[in-house]
């Protein structure tokens, strides 16, 4: 997400940091670089113009107060960060709940923008907060849309009001109206209406959206836009703004390698905040959009706040508490704890996505892209092939046990050895870290096998020791040449 933009920003700040005393000329050059980077990322010209003008004015304003050798570049960075946050809509806005439930949320946008997927994501998000949402299938156009909504609704345990089969059959306005009535009678606290899109903006699409809007007077109309459609995102947003109107924006597919800047211009151009962002196809790939966190991420400072929140969500309360208690009481981490952590990490989504939230992720682009996600599954398989005793006490792992574990998990003995070595090193690191700082709210994590590091930092695996065994067969097993 925005890797190119992030590395261009890093380049501009790198140059500023290398200056003894920053001059007006340096600021102008840095701003020119930023301007080019924003335009390349598809940020709308008008937004780029006002952004660079504001940054330039503020930067030149504070320039005389900056001392050579002090944090001049950081001061300029703060100016850029603040302006970028402004473009992205300033502070995060939340859904306005209806005074008298249900709160009615209508989704609008082009076909393929991700509305149906979003309906389920939103429903799950609010269900987890104690709401009782219901989904309404008013997209009666797109083939299979009704069925898809039923499937995703079921997957998150949320009912779906779908009296019509869709595929061109049924009246979407009536479905929306009846759906809201049904929701009210069944005391649902929230209604999320999926509406039809078209491949492009057309009059019929707008008419239908307007008719649904007028039939149910939603508390929130959310315009859903695919970040990958480039410059069209702004045009489409303006057409929906002029047609049906909307209260907030949801950007989807921010996980793509798209330039995405166009979608980011929408808040500035329409004056409507980006409220949520979707970063993948899975239900969990979704969050509130925080302009300040996104700005920090674009500027290469990572998004540790979101990372910590996701970790909190993934580790259920009991697991997190147990791990923290173990950590503070000085007890050893066992492979059972590690397994729980791996399970939680799988729940947190892809490792690439997690890593990309770390500060400096822009510079780790290649490593993140090349990260082998299946490594977690393979590591889990090794741990799961161990007996409870082995998981608790690695010392019992002699050659034959290691060979059995390797066979059981479909790995080589050398893989088992590597995991054991690294885990032993991690246990040591945990002990050392006991009084040190881990990410708040995030239980400490031992490093992953195969060169993958936990977000807590890098513990080096010990140098591979020579085999202690004098037995050649055992040595061969330990080296992984027999498996």
Q: Which residues bind ligand GDP (CB under 6 A)?
A: 109, 111-117, 142, 197, 252-253, 255-256, 278-281, 285
Give the shortest CB-62-to-ligand GDP separation in angstroms. 38
Q: Which residues pair with 105 in a beta bridge?
A: 192, 220
Tell the smallest beta-carbon distance from residue 196 to ligand GDP (Å): 8
**Min CB(201)–ligand GDP separation in Å:** 14
User: Could you give the angle at the alpha carbon of 184 between the alpha carbons of 180 and 190, nearest 5°?
Assistant: 70
Residue 112 CB, shortest distance to ligand GDP, in Å, is 5
Q: Which is nearer to ligand GDP, 57 or 144 (CB)?
A: 144
111 or 363: whose CB is closer to ligand GDP? Answer: 111
Phi, psi of 132 (to 5 degrees): -120, 75
* Nearest residue to 113 (alpha-carbon basis) of 199, 242, 53, 202: 199
d(CA 250, CA 94): 12
Contact 195, 106 (CB under 8 A): yes
Q: Exposed/middle/buried for 263, CB within 10 Å: 0-12, 13-18, 19+?
A: buried
Minimum distance between the CB of residue 276 and ligand GDP, rounded to whole angstroms? 10
Contacts of residues 472-476 at CB distance under 8 Å and 24 or more positions apart, as own/partner, are: 473/399, 474/399
Tally the C-alpha atoms within 13 A of residue 440's C-alpha that lie toward its C-beta. 3
Residue whose pair of structure tokens reads 């004056």 in the numeric block: 271
* CB closer to ligand GDP, 38 vs 279: 279
Q: Please, which residue, 31 or 267, has the CB nearer to ligand GDP?
A: 267
CB nearer to ligand GDP: pick between 11 and 112: 112
Helices (H), 63-185: 72-87, 115-127, 145-155, 172-185
Tell me how many degrees the CA angle 207-180-280 measures, rounded to the nearest 5.
75
Cβ proximity to ligand GDP: between 245 and 256 the closer is 256
Minimum separation from the CB atom of position 77 to ligand GDP (A)? 29
Number of helices followed by number of strands (H, E) in the chain: 21, 8
Beta carbon of residue 165, minimum distance to ligand GDP (angstroms, whole number):
16
Q: How far is the CB of 254 from ligand GDP (least distance, A)?
A: 6
CB of 275 to ligand GDP, least distance (A): 14
What kind and span of H or E run contains 251? strand 248-252
Least Å distance between CB 403 and ligand GDP?
Answer: 42
| Residue the block writes with tokens 């090349």 | 370
Q: Minimum distance between the CB of residue 164 and ligand GDP, rounded to whole angstroms? A: 16
Q: Encoding tokens for residue 437?
A: 């700082």
- Residue 262 or 379: the one with the smaller Cβ distance to ligand GDP is 262
- CB–CB of 333/446 below 8 Å? yes
Instruction: Decide whether 219 or 255 has the Cβ nearer to ligand GDP.
Output: 255
Residue 259 structure tokens: 């330039």
Residue 283 phi, psi dihedral angles, 5° rounding: -55, -35
CA 279 to chain centre: 5
Q: Which residues contact 321 (CB under 8 A, 6 or more apart)?
A: none
Got the DSSP string for 319-345? HHHHHHHHHHHTPPP-HHHHHHHHHHH
């Amino acid at each position: 997400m925005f890797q190119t933009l992030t590395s261009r920003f890093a380049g501009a700040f790198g140059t500023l940091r290398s200056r003894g005393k920053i001059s007006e000329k340096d600021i102008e050059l840095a701003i020119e670089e930023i301007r080019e980077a924003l335009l390349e990322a598809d940020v709308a010209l008008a937004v780029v113009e006002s952004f660079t003008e504001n940054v330039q004015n503020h930067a030149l304003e504070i320039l005389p107060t900056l001392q050579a050798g002090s944090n001049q570049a950081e001061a300029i960075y703060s100016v850029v960060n603040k302006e970028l946050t402004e473009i992205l809509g300033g502070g995060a806005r939340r859904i306005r709940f209806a005074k008298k439930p249900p709160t009615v949320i209508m989704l609008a946008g082009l076909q393929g923008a991700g509305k149906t997927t979003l309906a389920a994501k939103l429903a799950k998000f609010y269900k987890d907060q104690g709401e009782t949402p219901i989904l309404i299938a008013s997209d009666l156009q797109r083939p299979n849309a009704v069925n898809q909504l039923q499937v995703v609704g079921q997957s998150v345990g949320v009912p779906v009001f779908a009296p019509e089969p869709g595929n061109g059959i049924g009246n979407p306005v009536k479905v929306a109206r009846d759906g809201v009535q049904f929701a009210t009678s069944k005391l649902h606290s929230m209604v999320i209406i999926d509406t039809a899109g078209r491949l492009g903006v057309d009059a019929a699409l707008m008419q239908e959206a307007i008719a649904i809007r007028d039939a149910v007077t939603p508390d929130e109309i959310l315009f859903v836009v695919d970040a990958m459609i480039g410059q069209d995102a702004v045009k489409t947003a303006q057409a929906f703004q002029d047609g049906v109107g909307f209260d907030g924006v949801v950007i989807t597919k921010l996980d793509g390698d798209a330039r995405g800047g166009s979608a980011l211009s929408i808040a500035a151009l329409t004056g409507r905040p980006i409220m949520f962002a979707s970063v993948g196809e899975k239900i969990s790939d979704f969050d509130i959009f925080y302009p300040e966190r996104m700005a920090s991420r674009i500027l290469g400072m990572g998004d540790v706040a979101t990372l910590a929140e996701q970790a909190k969500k993934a580790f259920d309360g009991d697991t997190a508490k147990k791990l923290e208690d173990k950590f503070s009481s000085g007890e050893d981490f066992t492979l059972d704890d590690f397994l729980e952590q791996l399970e939680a990490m799988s729940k947190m989504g892809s490792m690439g996505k997690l890593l990309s939230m770390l500060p400096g992720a822009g510079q780790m682009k290649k490593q993140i892209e090349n990260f082998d996600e299946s490594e977690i599954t393979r590591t889990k398989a090794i741990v799961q092939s161990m007996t409870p005793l082995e998981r608790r006490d690695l010392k019992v792992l002699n050659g034959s046990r290691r060979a059995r574990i390797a066979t059981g998990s479909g790995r080589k003995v050398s893989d088992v050895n590597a995991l054991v070595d690294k885990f032993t090193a991690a246990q040591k690191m945990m002990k050392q870290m006991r009084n040190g700082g881990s990410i708040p709210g995030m239980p400490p994590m031992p490093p992953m096998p195969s060169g993958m590091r936990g977000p807590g930092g890098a513990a080096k695996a010990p140098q591979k020791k020579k085999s202690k065994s004098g037995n050649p067969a055992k040595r061969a097993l330990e080296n992984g040449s027999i498996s």
